[in-house]
Amino acid sequence: METNRRSVLKTTTAATLTAGLPTILKAQSAPDQIKIGIVGCGGRGSGALIQALKADPGVVLWSIGDAFEGGLENARRIGQRTPKQYDCPKEREFIGLDAYQGVIASGVDVVLLCTPPHFRPQHIRAAVEAGKHIFAEKPMAVDMAGIRSVVQSVKMAKEKGVAIQHGFCWRFEPAAREAYGKVHQGELGRLVSVYGTYMLNPVQALSKDAKKPAGMGDVEWQLRHWFNFEWLAAGPLVEQCIHTVDKVAWALGDIDPVAVVANGGRAFRDDASNLFDHYNVAYEYPNGIIAHVGQRQYSGCHSEVRDRVYCADGTVHVTNFGTAHATDAANNRIWRYRAKDTAEQNPYQVCHNEFFGSLRAGKIINTGDYMVKSTALGLFGREAAHTGQRLKWTDFWASAQDLAPDDLKLTDAFPVAPVPKPGPNK
């Protein structure tokens, strides 16, 4: 049965909860194997699969699903590099937009959900209902209809004992953990403001003259170029810069913001996409704290991914993986972290190491609450820029925004929505 990401759990009986309880993978009683399935094996899905296989020698690739043959081939190649961890015959390979259903029903213990984010709420709901532990890539949704679905799924997962791990990789980065730990412990005094940047080149942008081939459905063409369409990717502030947005939330202890004001637009994009290529967002927090996020995807310009957390007695700087430092009020460096072994401390790998380690130990981790909040925070900033309005957090959670239905087929007609125009856009 297809699960709709916008369906809201009305009632849950005790019998229903008991029927779907997953096996907790305890070291003393679990089988050697942890059977995993992957749904979506493009660039990030390929990385997540490699990291899951490295995390535990008992992890076995049991099932593969993707909308297209190319994703299946990516997963096959990765699995076949470690044949002892590859047990996925043709009958456990699934292709198409309903591939997630086959993977979830194939007998896996854990599913890696790595498709374009439009599908994430639907896939999370289906996996939780089936009692499968979940690794879900960021972001968790593209609109508030999806956010509300994931909120319900997270609640259901807690009730059923289903583990949920997320792909906000900086939360696992050792240097960042040390740096934000100093902020949270008050070592540099009261937090005053935050400035985070994510300024890089465009990601798989369409060429100016790119057009849909004759005979191909709108949905298939857009899905094959999914980074370029808001209903699939959520836009660069939420798809890529969500890491910086998440670190803003992390620095502030994941408390609720009050309001947001933002600007954005298309400075260089001139193609068939409907995305902005830059955003500047000011999140208003209690006690007068302002957190700024600067995002852009420009070619040939200054690039940086950096966070500056300004405190009363100094500033924490989080830069590349494995490096962070702090300066005092006179800008003298007073602390520095540099990883001794960056390969071992790669946050993508640490994420999976901790996830599978917790399952082996019989512990259920559920990071759903803040993975939902960070995604909503990104959407909050995006919509402030798209509308040109100052938005309040409490009002935003009542939004009925729904960018696309769940039951689209690859062959369907689905015209590209117009580029948002601040002011008229609501």
Cα torsion 226, 198, 324, 321 to 10°: value is: 20
Question: Domains plus CATH for the chain?
Answer: 15-169+351-367 (3.40.50.720), 171-341+375-396 (3.30.360.10)
Residue 284 exposed, middle or buried by CB count within 10 Å (0-12, 13-18, 19+): middle
What's the pLDDT tens digit per position in 250-266?
Answer: 999 999 999 999 999 99
Ranking 6-10, 82-86, 122-126, 128-132 by mean pLDDT, the lowest is 6-10
Q: Taking Cα atoms as reference points, which of 194, 110, 181, 142 lies closest to residue 383?
A: 142
Query: Taking a C-beta distance cutoff of 8 angstroms, is the pair 304, 197 a contact?
Result: yes
Grouping H, G, I as helix, E, B as strand and the rest as coil, residue 309 is strand
Grouping H, G, I as helix, E, B as strand and the rest as coil, residue 35 is strand
What's the pLDDT tens digit per position in 46-94?
Answer: 999 999 999 999 999 999 999 999 999 999 999 999 999 999 999 999 9
What's the pLDDT tens digit per position in 146-172?
Answer: 999 999 999 999 999 999 999 999 999
Q: Taking Cα atoms as reference points, which of 261, 326, 317 lies closest to residue 291?
A: 261
The pLDDT of residue 338 is 81
Distance from C-alpha of 407 to C-alpha of 294, rounded to nearest angstrom:
35
pTM across the whole model: 0.91
Q: Taking Cα atoms as reference points, which of 177, 286, 285, 196 lies closest to residue 237?
A: 196
The pLDDT of residue 342 is 63
